[in-house]
Structures are given as C-alpha cells and as structure tokens.
Amino acid sequence: MGSDLQQVFSDIAKGKRIDKAAALSLLLNASPVELGFLAQERRFFHHPEPAVTYIIDRNINYTNICETLCAFCAFSRAESEEGAYSLSIEDLLQKVKETVELGGTGILLQGGHNPKLPFSYYLDMLSAIKRDFPDIHIHAFSPPEIVFFSNSFGMSVPEVLSKLREAGLQSLPGGGAEILTEKSRKRIAPKKATTEEWLGVMEEAHRLGIPSTATMMFGAGEGDDEIVEHLDRVRSLQDRTGGFTAFIPWTYQPGGRAKLKVEKASYTKYLKVLALSRIYLDNIKNIQASWLTQGLDIGQVALHFGANDLGSVMIEENVVRAAGCSHRTNEAELREVIATAGFAPKKRRTLYEGA
C-alpha cells in the first residue's frame, strides 16, 4: 500500500473528512475489503446500534409519457406508442388503498415529463391522497419533474414547490440525479435538468423545510472522477442545508428499451462506490443499499459496506423492471436477509422515523 493511501486510511480512522483527491485514490487503489472496513467504521459512528432499517411503500409512476428521451431510460413512451398511460385519480387512489392494506406507510410518486398534463393534475393527485389517506407519507416529484413543471407552467421553482406542498407533498425523492456533471448529463440525458438545476431544486426545497433524499446512478460510462465530483456536490449542498435524509447509489441497468449500451457495472464496483459514499458523505446519516438493482445477496453484503438501510419492500416498481431487472422481495424475506447479515431489522417510515 502506498504511503498516500495509508495517510487517507489513517485520516478516515480518525474521523477526518476526506477531499476529492483522497476519494479518487480510494476508489482507484483501495481494495473492496479495505473500503468496506472503513465504511463500517463510519456507519457505526452514525448508527452505534447494529440495526438495519427498511420501509414498506410503493413506487407509483403516474405517467410513462415523457418528452425528455434520456438515453438510459427503458420506461418512457411517446404518447402515440402502445402501452403509454397516465393514471386517473381513481386509479391512483386504488393503488394507495392497496398500499395501506398491505401495511405500507408511504408512496413514492414520480412520472415522465408529459406535456399534456395540466398543473391541476398534480395538485389534485396530492390533495386526493391526503383527503382519503391522511397518514400516508407523500414522497414525490424528483428535481427534473419540478424543473419541468416550472418551465411548463411559468412558475418559479419555489412557487411550484410551495403549491405542491400546500396540496400534500411532504418530501422529494432524489431521482434524476444520475451523475451530477454536465459531461455525463449531456451524453445520457441532454434534455433533462442540468446539474445546477437539480441542486437548485434541492436547495430551494430544503430552504422551504421540505426534506429529500439524494441518489446517484453510476455505471453509465462516466469516469471515476465524475463519481467523486457527484459525491462532492451532494456533500457541499448538505453542508449548507442539512436537508438530505439519505443517499442512495445504484447502478445503471442496461436492458429493455434503453438506448445506452454499456457493460453493466460489476458488484465489486457497486460495493466500492457504496462504501466510498458512506466515507465521503460524512454529513448524511443514512446510506441505502439497493437490493432492487443488485439482488438480495449483494443487498445483504452491502450491509457490511456502509449501508444502514435496505430500502423498501416495494409493493410496485416499474422503472427498473422495464430495464429487465426483476428482483422482488417481501417483508419476511427482507427481515431474514437483514437478520442473517447480523443486524436487527427495524421498520421505518419515509423520513427514517420509526414505523
């Protein structure tokens, strides 16, 4: 091991914050086992108890019609295509009802950028859910959707967020971040919100008291330096606002109708990036493992690479499934996976409160 890397290990062990150069060196030169060890030290600093949390919720995609045409998307459709849909309020309420009946405490509501839907559609969805299911947490609309609403309806981002919150929005999912560098975004999602727009929406949301998660989709042809840059942008924003409740990295699923053809990121790369996320993001308490994209076995291993949360039992998921990723689970199985890894399973709600 080089002396530079040894110095980084010693800094991390002392609880010191690492910089971008050190993070890149870790990603390039440290072994997965070394990274996992260091990440677990940080994980137990934030969460001294050996518990791993999970949630029961449902991803509801209100429309798959989208004009943004991201190269990695296997989910969206043109309006004229077979299978294109927009949910009615009745369909949506039925899905929320099923979620509640199955013990779900929240819904994650996201959709395509559909130019035909009026702003009232979104407000009506939120207020109808809150009217019929006041206890269900509404985690909805990633930053690119908020930017799309702002541009389509001629309102500022704070105005959009305030109106959605008034109607029932409680927190924002961190989707649509992919990699927060313009180099990658221009290549894989040139029509989507820019890095500054994604971060700007999150900053406004946090300023208004709306918490959010942050995500990263990697393995889509970006450089390792871009992964580090992404983590740095998220950490800097969190330093200013403290509004991120969790960070969720996952890998691009190159399947289905997605145009972007690259080799799928390895499990080793996933675990290394997960561990690095835990080490670098010293100001974000919760790091979530993605069993949905990696499978339950790797999800379980991820609990020894810095993750303290195994995400959702996920009653419904459409986006990753459209790319051919078919992992499924149920609550008993998820609890078993957590227990077998040596942790106590603990059900939570969307904002990481106890269920």
Residues that bind ligand SF4 (CB under 6 A): 66, 68-70, 73, 75-76, 112-113, 144, 189, 192
The nearest distance, CB 198 to ligand SF4, in angstroms, is: 12
The nearest distance, CB 200 to ligand SF4, in angstroms, is: 17
- For tokens 């560098």, what's the residue? 181
- Residue 244 or 252: the one with the smaller Cβ distance to ligand SF4 is 252
Dihedrals φ, ψ of 145, to 5°?
-65, -40
The nearest distance, CB 273 to ligand SF4, in angstroms, is: 20
Enclosing H/E stretch for 186: helix 182-188
Enclosing H/E stretch for 32: helix 32-46
Cα–Cα distance, 197 to 344 (Å, whole number): 39
The nearest distance, CB 152 to ligand SF4, in angstroms, is: 13
- Residue 193 or 289: the one with the smaller Cβ distance to ligand SF4 is 193
Show the tokens assigned to 205: 């949301």
Dihedrals φ, ψ of 34, to 5°?
-65, -45
- Residue 12 or 320: the one with the smaller Cβ distance to ligand SF4 is 320
Cα–Cα distance, 215 to 60 (Å, whole number): 18
CA 193 to chain centre: 16
Cα–Cα distance, 150 to 164 (Å, whole number): 12
The nearest distance, CB 150 to ligand SF4, in angstroms, is: 15
Q: Which of 49, 54, 42 is nearest to 277 (CA)?
A: 42
- Residue 76 or 290: the one with the smaller Cβ distance to ligand SF4 is 76
- Residue 133 or 148: the one with the smaller Cβ distance to ligand SF4 is 148
- Residue 112 or 168: the one with the smaller Cβ distance to ligand SF4 is 112
Cα–Cα distance, 136 to 96 (Å, whole number): 8
Q: Are 225 and 261 within 8 A, CB to CB?
A: no
- Residue 68 or 329: the one with the smaller Cβ distance to ligand SF4 is 68
The nearest distance, CB 82 to ligand SF4, in angstroms, is: 17
The nearest distance, CB 244 to ligand SF4, in angstroms, is: 21
